Structure 1
Amino acid sequence: MINIFYEIKNFRIKNEFSFINEINILLNNEGYIINNNINYIFCNDDFILAMNKKYLNKNFYTDVIAFSYSTESLKFSILGDIYISIDRIIENSKKWNEFFLVELKRVMIHGVLHLVGYNDKKKEDRKLMKKKENFYLDLFQF
């Protein structure tokens, strides 16, 4: 089950079902099922900065942090939390001259790709992840 939570008051996704359906399509396409929960938590910069400091020992803003709680025994089952800073989505959409909803979907896709095992630490990994993001953004055009 995909859940959406809000740690901020001034933001809501209008059609949550559509977003959830798209993430389910992505997971199915990648060969994963949800036996447990994926939680999207939308927050502001201060909230995600505190998370970044506390759990990752990093002192900077970021658009998304994904925590996977899946175990090896549940190889193709997903369990995790994805924190998304709406402040960063707004800033990045302006910076890259992109529509807010496109940037929001990109970050939601990025977070779930982390949960299914994609990484973006190395240049080659970043290229593959960007390719996957673009594939799913094209698939989910609105």
Structure 2
Amino acid sequence: MEIIVQNKTERTIDSKKVSNIAKKVIEKELADTEIGSLNILLTDDAEITSINKQFRNKEESTDILSFGYGLEEEPIGDIVISLERIAEQSQEFGNSFEEELLYITIHGVLHVLGYNHEGDDTEDEEIFLLQKKYFRELVKG
């Protein structure tokens, strides 16, 4: 499994921590399944807005975009995170910047693995419960 974290901002990020948290969630979810690569792009509001418009036809900023490519023949996906939004949300939710980044990374990995929250309440509940569980286990320890 290859996880590539690319930071296109001026903000100093512990890319290894981001990569490790993604890897741990994937390992817990997929156990011994062979997977391809996960790309995580850390960027700003302007770029994520552009990507959101291009792929989802929504001209607005968001904290995270996830693109899953399935697990056949080992592909996995891409995650795009706005560090500007992470900074805002960390203050709003009372987390440190790093905690919020890792929390949203977990959310993105779950999306790439096929979890959604745009369907019924059961889907919504499942992804958010898993996100909180992995955050408590892997970040808060």
SS at 2:42 equivalent: strand
Q: Does 1:4 align with 2:5?
A: yes
How do residues 27-66 of structure 1 correspond to structure 2 at under 5 angstroms? 27-31=26-30, 33=33, 35-66=35-66
SS at 1:54 equivalent: helix
Task: Tell me the amino acid that sits aligned with residue 91 of structure 2.
Answer: K
* In 1, Cα distance between equivalents of 2:17 and 2:63: 21
* In 1, Cα distance between equivalents of 2:123 and 2:12: 32
Task: Tell me the amino acid that sits aligned with residue 105 of structure 1.
Answer: L
Residue of structure 2 in register with 1:106 after alignment? 103
Query: Unpaired runs of 5+ in structure 2?
Result: none
Task: State which drifts further: 46-55 or 29-38.
Answer: 29-38
Following superposition, the deviation at residue 94 of structure 1 comes to: 1.4
Task: Tell me the amino acid that sits aligned with residue 44 of structure 2.
Answer: N
Residue of structure 1 in register with 2:86 after alignment? 89
Structure 1 residues 113 and 3 mapped into 2: Cα distance closer, same or farther (>3 Å)? Answer: same
Task: State which drifts further: 58-67 or 23-32.
Answer: 23-32
TM-score (normalised: structure 1): 0.87
Query: Unpaired runs of 5+ in structure 1?
Result: none
SS at 1:19 equivalent: helix
* In 2, Cα distance between equivalents of 1:55 and 1:61: 13
Question: Is the contact made by 1:34 and 1:79 (CA closer than 8 Å) also made in structure 2?
Answer: no
SS at 1:140 equivalent: helix
Percentage of pairs with the same residue: 27
Runs of 4+ deviating beyond 3 Å: 32-35
SS at 1:101 equivalent: helix
- C-alpha RMSD of the superposition: 1.7
Aligned residue pairs total: 137
Task: Tell me the amino acid that sits aligned with residue 18 of structure 1.
Answer: K
Following superposition, the deviation at residue 78 of structure 1 comes to: 4.2
Partner deviation per Cα, 1:37-83 (whole Å, 9 max, x = no partner):
10000000000000000110012211000112235x34xx4421100
